[in-house]
Amino acid sequence: MALAAAVVGAAGFVALAPEAQAATTSRIPAHVFAPYFEAYNGDSLNGLSQQSGNNFLTLAFVQTASAGSCTALWNGTTAISSATFGADITAIRARGGDVIPSFGGYAADNGGTELADSCTSVDAIAAEFQRVITTYDVTRIDLDIEDNSLNRPDGIDRRNKAVKKVEDWAAATGRLVQFTYTLPTTPTGLAPSGLAVLQNAAQNQARIDIVNIMTFDYYDGVTHDMAAATQTAATGLVSQLKGVWPGKTDAQYWNQVGIIEMNGQDDYANDTGNLSAEVFTLANATTVTNWAKAKGIGALSFWALQRDNGGCPGQAPGERNCSGVAQSTWQFSQLMRSFTSGATSSPTPSASASSASPSTPSSPSPSPSSPSPSVSTPAGTAWAAGTAYKVGQIVTYNGKRYQCRQAHTAIVSWEPPNVLALWLPL
């Protein structure tokens, strides 16, 4: 996915609301459609969110200004600050949505300005991840790793070590943080270079919640049914995930899958002029969305929101501001956004938080700050691996009580005191 050299614009200059501090439950639904927003071309984030009807967006991209730097910037040019996108994010959250900042992208990965390639300090990389998380109070960070970044083992190792550090920090501070990887794929699964990124994550004990595969730009000279290729690529990915993180159920592996399409013509059309080999059609969008729902994958997306219009039908969309197929404006979004489903909880302060305006829980649940038992506060059942837990459910473990922060199916090693991103001590 290409990254233009433009300054972020049209950003609000209002700080995030006081309640947007230290999220302890996920702002992102269990199954989310979050197309990419090109954050570097001056468009209004909130404006396009409203116009397109997409309340969840992935923001592309965060990178350094030059190789060797350890400072993360939007597009390598604009400060990570509530003055940049802060008002937009607040408005999106008021509609029940959220954003996912994405680090890397093709241009950064190609040019050495992807954060972990650029910076040689694991602590500094982790600090920049934390800075983005705390500045925007996001609960999910995406890592878009492709091109040269797939062949930089030092950067791969630093990145995953930094992810682990941030996850440990989040657990210690009662904050929920999820990391996802976005990787190129073949029609049958990850290439060895992409698989190596995940294997290194496992070696570093970094938890990767979702692996997004970019089901486009195959460049193999074959005419593809892009929906069918998506399905075979995802099936291959599930087999690979089983080898990297054994011991889960099939449903858990499929929930770890994310799919990123390129709506309409992809880069192969731009580079070769072949307008039939790799085109993701409106019919493909319907097929993939229905398949994704049936499989229970974790995330669905496309590159990119600003291309979701019919401004250049039958053409290679070289300027990346149209899809290259005949469509109405936002038609891909309209076909795919029904994928979003599952519980989303508004963040509530942890017991140590001092937010001036805590948000109201969406459903009644025992208050962690009320130690007095009552008939409406269940004692909780004993935690057990293999059990599917819902947000708000209470369990006991080693004589202590915990409240579920995020819906999940428990596995061995996810005992409540070990995974505070999932469990709130009561």
CATH, residue 253: 3.20.20.80
pLDDT tens, position by position, 113-130: 999 999 999 999 999 999
pTM of structure: 0.79
Q: Which residue has the higher pLDDT, 423 or 354?
A: 423
| Token pair for 21 | 């501090």
CA distances from 78 to 7, 150, 277 (A): 7, 26, 37
Where does a domain end: 274, 309, 339?
Answer: 339
Instruction: Give the integer Cα–Cα distance in Å for 417 and 311.
Output: 53
Listed residue (52, 55, 58) closest to 92, CA to CA: 55
Q: Tell whether 120 is covered by a domain.
A: yes
Q: For the chain, how many structural domains are there in total?
A: 2
Tell me what pLDDT residue 379 has: 67
Q: Kindly give the interhelix angle for 153-173 and 122-136, rounded to the nearest 10 degrees.
A: 50
So what's the pLDDT on residue 378?
43
Q: Choose one of 273, 305, 339: the last residue of a domain.
A: 339
Position 286 scores a pLDDT of 98
**Both structure tokens of 355:** 């937010």
- The pair of three-digit structure tokens given for residue 38, joined into one six-digit string: 């090109």
Residue 290 · residue 332 · CB < 8 Å: no
CA angle (30 as vertex; 27, 31 as ends), nearest 5: 115
Cβ distance 17 to 136 under 8 Å? Answer: no
Query: Residue range 188-201: average pLDDT?
Result: 99
Q: Do 334 and 391 reside in the same domain of the chain?
A: no
416 and 320 in one domain? no
224-253 mean pLDDT? 98
Residue bearing the bigger pLDDT, 3 or 156? 156
Q: Could you check whether the bond before residue 339 is cis, i.e. omega within 30 degrees of 0?
A: no
Of 283, 310, 339, which residue constitutes the final position of a domain? 339
Angle 226-244/192-203 helices, nearest 10 degrees?
30
Residues 244 and 183 in one domain: yes
Compute the mean pLDDT over every residue in the chain, rounded to the nearest whole number: 87
Same domain, 293 and 185: yes
Dist CA 58 CA 280 (whole Å) = 20
315 and 233 belong to one structural domain: yes
pLDDT > 60? residue 405: yes
Quick one: pLDDT band at residue 421, thresholds 50, 70, 90?
low
Residues 162, 50 share a domain:
yes
pLDDT of residue 131: 98
Same domain for 386 and 262, yes or no, is no
Residue 90 lies in a domain: yes
Kindly state whether residue 373 falls inside one of the protein's structural domains: no
Q: What is the pLDDT of residues 314-328, one digit of tens each?
A: 998 876 799 999 999
Task: Say if residue 337's pLDDT is above 50.
Answer: yes
Q: Would you say residue 366 lies in a domain?
A: no
Q: Are residues 62 and 165 in the same domain?
A: yes
- We report the CATH number of the domain holding residue 398 as 2.10.10.20
Q: Are 105 and 241 contained in the same domain?
A: yes
Q: Residue 135 in contact with residue 129, Cβ under 8 Å? A: no
User: Is 50 among the domain residues?
Assistant: yes
More confident position, 277 or 366: 277
For residue 345, being part of any structural domain is answered with no
Tokens at 178, concatenated: 């999820």
User: Is residue 177 assigned to a domain?
Assistant: yes
DSSP 201-221: HHHTT----EEEEE-----SS
Strands 32-33 and 299-302: parallel
Report yes or no on 3 lying in a domain.
no
In the chain, the percentage of residues whose pLDDT exceeds 90 is 73
Are 240 and 385 within one domain?
no
88 & 221 share domain: yes
Segment 21-42 shows an average pLDDT of 90
Q: Could you tell me if 334 and 390 lie in one domain? A: no
Domain that holds residue 146: 32-339
Average pLDDT rounded to a whole number, residues 374-402: 77
Cα–Cα distance, 200 to 191 (Å, whole number) = 15
In sequence order, what are the residues at sequence separation of 6 or more whose Cβ sits closer than 8 angstroms to the Cβ of residue 424?
24, 174, 350, 368, 402, 403, 404, 405
Q: Does position 4 have pLDDT exceeding 60, yes or no?
A: no
pLDDT digits (tens, 9 = 90+) for 411-420: 766 788 877 6
pLDDT on residue 334: 99
User: What is the pLDDT averaged over residues 394-400?
Assistant: 89
What is d(CA 22, CA 354) in angstroms, rounded to the nearest whole number? Answer: 10
| Torsion 182-184-188-189 (CA) sign | negative
Which DSSP helix (H) or strand (E) runs through 131? helix 122-136
22 contacts 175 by C-beta, under 8 angstroms:
yes
